[in-house]
């Protein structure tokens, strides 16, 4: 009442209670001048943390008030000099309490008519340990609890992804037990007590922030793109190819609530207050491109809310925030009419946008913003040879965002997927040291595969259910060779030795199929089941198919006869394995072991009518990108089996880059209110 301000200003009840118990209030004189030093002393004594240091009797308060009244000289009644003399009459006692009553009444009225003071906006960076790296192009990495107290991020250490926790009132960052292998896009429960995350590309888990091991919520279609945990304990998640699904937070089976009907993926769902409408992003998974849309869960109707905007979120300040052009924008939003009001304004420039479309930011309900600073990612990766001793040799090729190298059957060229604003396939000639673009079209293409004769290259047209091929010299036009609508996104793996069949993966089911080229027959299913199976590779003699499967509980390497895959099964790896690759001689089978440390493994094999294997041998420690470990292989082997073609500047971050930083902005809503007033 004396200063016109609460002595313990914090953004929420929990933080306020903590401040009352721990913090010393600022001196009254900092907020208002002219307050008697003795009165300031008395207030400090009333607010002392230690009970014995406070006034014990109301009579003592009365005595000090009388002393102040009787001697207007503050120096005469400063602490330690207040005289404990009995009043000569009841008048000072009455006067003191009348004064107190008037002060209370006046202060109450004054507080009602004064504007609530705005909270200061605070910005500071969090520098992560130098031993950790923030992966790129792997989805959203950040989550902030609704109460603004706890930051979660996905980082790599020793090649292993996991979730880390940083309480903003603490100095230490700690790994969350049981989240090893966690994917991107973690999100919180409304009460800030639970964290949901995916693992293995499709299993949705949750873990309590007070401790305990993660528990399984349910199985989602492949590759979640964010989720929203509602107040009625339901989760709405965005999933690659499947649109939006709904699943009980306590566990259960997912139910599709919206399917992509225009080929665009659904990202970043947020269930708005009332639990009836979902705000989400529709995008082709390109950097910072898409539209904000609304879904009515009751009628299943969708409509566009804001064009050219991604990662939209309604915040309690009455604003809609989103990303456009690598900047954070805000506009007023009417929650009743579900309409934006006025023109948007740039609030925070320079948030990191990944090449896959992921936005590295999160906003808490209390007004805390966290983000990774940076422009839209333009990753520059080098291509290099690495021999069996670990010696590196750079290719004389301009750095770019290279992925999925595939060496031609004659060893003279390599087809590479280049990730960027427009995905394309390029061809590098090792002899001429010349780079040519194979797919100079507006199509988005990836996953190159050579035909056995080296004359054509097949690839998947992103956002479709079509695999096309084109002449490897760039002449002619692309021709579709597989159109499998039921398969969703498709990943071509290899051609049969005669080049008349193609083996590919269906993302919609995680089944591996084979189809005749140029025919009208339906694809034949080679591998199916409840497990995630990927990265099929054919032995040089055409008799055996290697692939990875998580049927044992983690990804391991298996071999089956081809094409009669049900006539045998041999497990090759014993400590985890992904991305198998045959030596061109057929006498070795390579794979990556994604543990700590990561390693390239070689297994001696003999193929023919039977398959025989020796003991796995470590070739080199793998200081290069693993990729997703899902449907792509990020390395290839030379014809003589002595060198491996690899992209450098791993997804886990440049080995020489400085420690990553996360920017924290507290009381960010005050800035929104100042730059985009809502009138509330």
88 pLDDT tier (thresholds 50, 70, 90): very low
650 pLDDT tier (thresholds 50, 70, 90): very low
Q: What is the DSSP string of 70-109?
A: H---GGGGSTT----PPPSSSHHHHHHHHHHHHHHHHHHH
Give the lowest-confidence range in 164-173, 409-418, 557-566, 610-619.
164-173
> Are the C-beta atoms of residues 233 and 215 closer than 8 Å to each other?
no
pLDDT at 520 > cutoff 80: no
673 pLDDT tier (thresholds 50, 70, 90): very high
SS (H, E, C) 171-199: CCCEECCCCCCECCCCEECCCCCEEEEEE
Give the lowest-confidence range in 71-80, 131-140, 246-255, 269-278.
71-80
pLDDT of residue 470: 94
pLDDT of residue 352: 84
Q: What is the mean pLDDT of residues 611-625?
A: 90
611 pLDDT tier (thresholds 50, 70, 90): very high
- The percent of residues above 70 in pLDDT, for the chain, comes to 82
Give the lowest-confidence range in 41-55, 81-95, 247-261, 447-461.
81-95
Digit-coded pLDDT (tens) for 4-25? 777 776 656 666 766 777 777 7
Q: What is the mean pLDDT of residues 611-622?
A: 93
- The percent of residues above 90 in pLDDT, for the chain, comes to 49
Cα–Cα distance between 56 and 63 in angstroms, integer?
12
Token pair, residue 461, equals 């047209």
> Are the C-beta atoms of residues 491 and 470 closer than 8 Å to each other?
no
pLDDT of residue 36: 75
Residue with tokens 């072991």: 593
622 pLDDT tier (thresholds 50, 70, 90): confident
Token pair, residue 389, equals 């001793």
> Are the C-beta atoms of residues 188 and 146 closer than 8 Å to each other?
yes
Cα–Cα distance between 55 and 592 in angstroms, integer?
71
Q: Domains in the chain, start-ordered, CATH in brackets?
A: 13-113 (no CATH), 122-377+659-675 (2.130.10.10), 383-647 (2.120.10.30)
Residue with tokens 């051609």: 495
SS (H, E, C) 406-447: EECCCCCEEEEEECCCCCEEEEEECCCCEEEECCCCCCCEEE
pLDDT of residue 669: 95
pLDDT at 413 > cutoff 90: yes
pLDDT at 387 > cutoff 50: yes
Cα–Cα distance between 35 and 348 in angstroms, integer?
41
Mean pLDDT of the chain: 83
With a CB cutoff of 8 Å and minimum separation 6, the contacts of 473 are none
pLDDT of residue 87: 40
pLDDT of residue 91: 46
Cα distances (Å, whole numbers) of residue 414 to 403, 448, 478, 584: 11, 10, 19, 15
pLDDT of residue 73: 58
């Amino acid at each position: 009442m004396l200063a016109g301000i609460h002595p313990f200003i914090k953004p929420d009840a929990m933080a306020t209670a903590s401040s009352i118990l721990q913090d010393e209030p600022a001196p009254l004189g900092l907020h208002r001048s002219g307050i008697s030093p003795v009165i300031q002393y008395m207030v400090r004594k009333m607010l002392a943390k230690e009970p014995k240091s406070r006034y014990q009797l109301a009579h003592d308060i009365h005595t000090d008030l009388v002393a102040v009244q009787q001697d207007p000289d503050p120096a005469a009644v400063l602490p330690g000099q207040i005289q404990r003399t009995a009043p000569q009459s009841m008048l000072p006692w009455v006067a003191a309490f009348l004064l107190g009553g008037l002060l209370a009444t006046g202060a109450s009225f004054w507080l009602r008519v004064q504007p609530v003071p705005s909270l200061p906006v605070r910005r500071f960076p969090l520098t992560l340990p130098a031993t950790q790296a923030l992966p790129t192009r792997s989805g959203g990495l950040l989550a902030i609890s609704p109460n603004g107290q706890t930051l979660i991020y996905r980082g790599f250490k020793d090649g292993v992804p996991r979730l880390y926790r940083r309480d903003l009132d603490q100095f230490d960052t700690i790994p969350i037990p049981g989240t090893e292998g966690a994917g991107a896009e973690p999100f919180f429960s409304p009460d800030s007590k639970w964290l949901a995350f995916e693992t293995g590309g499709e299993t949705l888990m949750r873990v309590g922030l007070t401790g305990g091991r993660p528990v399984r919520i349910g199985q989602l279609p492949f590759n979640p793109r964010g989720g929203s945990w509602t107040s009625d304990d339901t989760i709405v998640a965005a999933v690659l190819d499947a649109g939006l699904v709904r699943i009980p937070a306590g566990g259960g089976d997912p139910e599709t609530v919206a399917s992509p009907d225009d080929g665009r993926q659904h990202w970043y769902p947020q269930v708005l207050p009332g639990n009836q409408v979902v705000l989400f992003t529709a995008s082709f998974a390109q950097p910072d491109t898409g539209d904000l849309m609304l879904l009515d869960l009751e009628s299943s109707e969708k409509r566009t809310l804001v064009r050219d905007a991604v990662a939209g979120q309604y915040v309690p300040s009455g604003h809609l925030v989103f990303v456009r052009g690598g900047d954070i924008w805000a506009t007023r939003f009417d929650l009743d009419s579900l309409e934006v009001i006025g023109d948007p304004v740039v609030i925070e420039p320079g948030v990191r946008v990944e090449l896959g479309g992921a936005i590295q930011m999160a906003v808490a309900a209390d007004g805390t913003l966290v983000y990774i600073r940076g422009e839209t990612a333009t990753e520059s990766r080098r291509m290099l040879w690495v021999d069996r001793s670990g010696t590196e040799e750079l290719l004389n090729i301009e750095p770019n965002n290279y992925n999925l190298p595939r060496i031609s059957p004659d060893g003279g060229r390599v087809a590479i997927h280049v990730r960027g604003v427009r995905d394309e396939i390029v061809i590098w000639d090792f002899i001429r040291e010349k780079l040519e673009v194979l797919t100079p079209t507006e199509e988005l293409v990836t996953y190159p595969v050579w035909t056995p004769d080296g004359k054509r290259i097949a690839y998947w047209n992103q956002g479709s259910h079509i695999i096309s091929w084109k002449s490897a010299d760039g002449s002619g036009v692309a021709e579709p060779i597989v159109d499998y609508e039921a398969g969703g996104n498709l990943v071509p793996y290899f051609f049969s030795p005669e080049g008349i069949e193609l083996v590919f993966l269906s993302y919609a089911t995680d089944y591996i199929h084979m189809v005749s080229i140029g025919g009208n027959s339906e694809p034949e299913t080679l591998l199916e089941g409840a497990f995630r199976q990927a990265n099929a590779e054919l032995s040089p003699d055409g008799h055996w198919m290697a692939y990875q499967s998580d049927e044992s509980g983690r990804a391991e390497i298996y071999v089956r006869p081809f094409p009669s895959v049900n006539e045998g099964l041999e497990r090759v790896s014993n400590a985890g394995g992904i991305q198998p690759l045959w030596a061109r001689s057929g006498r070795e089978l390579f794979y990556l072991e994604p543990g700590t440390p990561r390693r390239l493994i070689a297994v001696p094999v003999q193929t023919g009518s039977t398959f025989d294997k020796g003991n796995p041998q470590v070739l080199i420690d793998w200081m290069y990108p693993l990729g997703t470990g899902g449907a792509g292989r990020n390395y290839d082997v030379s014809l003589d089996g002595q060198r491996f073609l690899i992209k450098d500047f791993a997804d886990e971050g440049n080995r020489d880059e400085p420690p990553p930083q996360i920017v924290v902005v507290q009381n960010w809503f005050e800035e929104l209110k100042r730059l985009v007033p809502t009138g509330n």
